[in-house]
A and B are shown apart, each in its own frame.
Chain A
């Protein structure tokens, strides 16, 4: 059986849910172990074993959260050399990308990113051309590194009782020079973007930052809804990055996605085309977003939004 090591990011004691998805899929294909590094890793290990990790490698050492990538890369290299993993699987989280990239260089291992399916442990599927096509890529050598996009698989518990193995944290001085010296979190309210059943989203077509308030009001009126945005408006500084949907940013699969003033650039579409239903409002009748909307409205989002807020309030009574 091929052997897989799944790297699970841990933040504030919580395991990246995408890592549980990857673990669920890879244990169908081979023997899957998991690794969690940094404060909260022991608690994470409990979750990872429930989702079927055969063994969990863990360390609570703060060097893994304080220092950028390099101590984790050294620890992963040690695990690969000791246990001979065929595949090391990551999610596409920020820290995962840093660590996976460096590990590829350190081990001379080929790497495939943005994976959405694993037909086997040496073939990875990724979306190209804005998700209109997939490529199946055969990966050679061992280990092979894959980075899997969130929501590519369903996570299933299987009640395992994996042994937890402590990982040594012994990075030498030259690997601990890049340090996180401050952490800032932007306050968020309402359901999380990736979990909300309805996402109300805006792009450049909204004209200016202040108009995002209309989206907030609509989300409020709907109740269980979150506000999202395109990369263009995040780059323009209208809304914080945490609201960005797309290739970089969050991948969502809500029941309904409402797009206001969004043209439908590839970078955005990749993050939202998994929505069950899509409604798009745009002044430009040639906007690519209309090619995937179940209901498209050619019109001015700023005129329609206030009326829609009233309609929703009235119907919710």
Chain B
């Protein structure tokens, strides 16, 4: 089973983000593999272990994205493709999906796995756009994923519970954080990752025209939100419960 996992390099989510010219600053910022993507890499590795085949990571991002891809390779993925191009700064979700689709189409695949949403942009629709461009069905928000016959059986999280989606291959699946417990890269894995095939591509390698890769949206204004002011902070000396109850009475909910 040939599996492609979409991975993203994001600015460290624990650091305060910065914006310049209406874009998130990604250059020179300490970055990491999106923690949400680790679940996708793990899901792919488990399927590879059970059914054979190969796991390929595909990423779009600045050259620093190499770091994120390395982490996925250290976990056990077999190879990686990175698309980097200055023309992609400010790409919207549609452009991202076009680039990833072009990179994925270069080799036959059975399954594409992505996170539900990125931790920095959280648009949450890019994988569905990608599935459409690749012409494959999708099962999103997977909390469980297994091969059944010639297809997949996916438990899809919903607001009220879950649904079971049955779907033939090739297909695209997005995974939630509930799907598995991602492994840590071993020392051996980290050493092996340095020797794994890593392909760097530009837009011209993919045959994409400037028109197809021009974002159709741009930030025109950044507005500060009304700050919520911190109120009173007390230390519990045994009276905190009574103080909270008073607060609830003042708020007229008791």
Q: Residues of A at under 8 Å CB distance from B?
A: 68-70, 73, 92-94, 97-106, 108-114, 123, 125, 127-129, 131-141, 144, 147, 177-186, 188, 197-198, 222, 224-225, 231, 234-235, 237, 240-242, 247-248, 250, 255-256, 258, 266-267, 273, 276-279, 281, 285, 290-300, 303-304, 307-308, 310-312, 315-316
Contacts and interface: CB of A to CB of B under 8 A. Distances in A.
Contacts of B235: 297-299
B159 A312 contact: no
A135 B227 contact: no
Given A247-B122, A298-B235, 16 more contacts: A68-B138, A68-B139, A114-B124, A133-B19, A180-B165, A183-B164, A198-B248, A241-B157, A255-B253, A256-B247, A279-B244, A291-B228, A296-B231, A297-B243, A311-B241, A315-B249
B52 to A, nearest CB: 24
Closest 8 CB pairs of A and B: A101-B128, A299-B236, A101-B125, A105-B132, A110-B216, A307-B241, A178-B137, A296-B233
A135 B129 contact: no
Interface residues of B, number: 81
A311 B94 contact: no
A304 B244 contact: yes
Interface in B114-145: 116-117, 119, 122-133, 137-141, 143
B225 interface: yes
B41 interface: no
A70 B221 CA distance: 35
A102 B119 CA distance: 21
B222 A134 contact: yes
Contact of B215 (A98, A110, A266): A110
Residue among A73, A93, A111, A125 facing the most chain B CB atoms (10 A cut-off): A111
Contact of A311 (B117, B223, B242): B242
A100 B230 CA distance: 38
B243 A137 contact: no
B132 A73 contact: yes
Nearest to A295: B247
B167 interface: yes
B205 interface: no
Contact of B129 (A105, A139, A179, A256): A105
A168 B178 CA distance: 38
B25 to A, nearest CB: 12
A277 B251 contact: yes
Contact of A180 (B163, B222, B231): B163
Contact of A137 (B143, B220, B230, B232): B220
Instruction: Say whether chain A's binding surface is mostly helix, strand, loop, or mixed.
Output: mixed
B22 interface: yes
Contact of B167 (A125, A177, A247): A177
Contact of A237 (B128, B139, B178): B178
Contact of B243 (A68, A295, A316): A295
Contacts of A294: 231-232, 247
Contact of B230 (A292, A312, A316): A292
A104 B98 CA distance: 11
Contact of B231 (A68, A97, A242, A293): A293
B107 interface: no
A120 to B, nearest CB: 11
A127 B217 CA distance: 16
18 contacts: A94-B141, A94-B158, A97-B128, A97-B140, A101-B129, A105-B94, A110-B94, A110-B215, A114-B124, A178-B166, A178-B168, A182-B164, A235-B178, A241-B143, A248-B176, A291-B230, A295-B231, A307-B242
B6 to A, nearest CB: 13
B27 interface: no
A134 B225 contact: yes
B224 interface: yes
A210 to B, nearest CB: 19
Contacts of B240: 281, 297, 299, 304, 307
B251 to A, nearest CB: 5
A316 B221 CA distance: 49
B225 A127 contact: yes
Interface in B51-110: 92-94, 97
B225 A138 contact: no
Contact of B22 (A135, A186, A255): A135
Contacts of B132: 73, 101-106
B225 A285 contact: no
A73 B127 CA distance: 15
A132 B16 CA distance: 11
A222 B253 contact: yes
B36 to A, nearest CB: 10
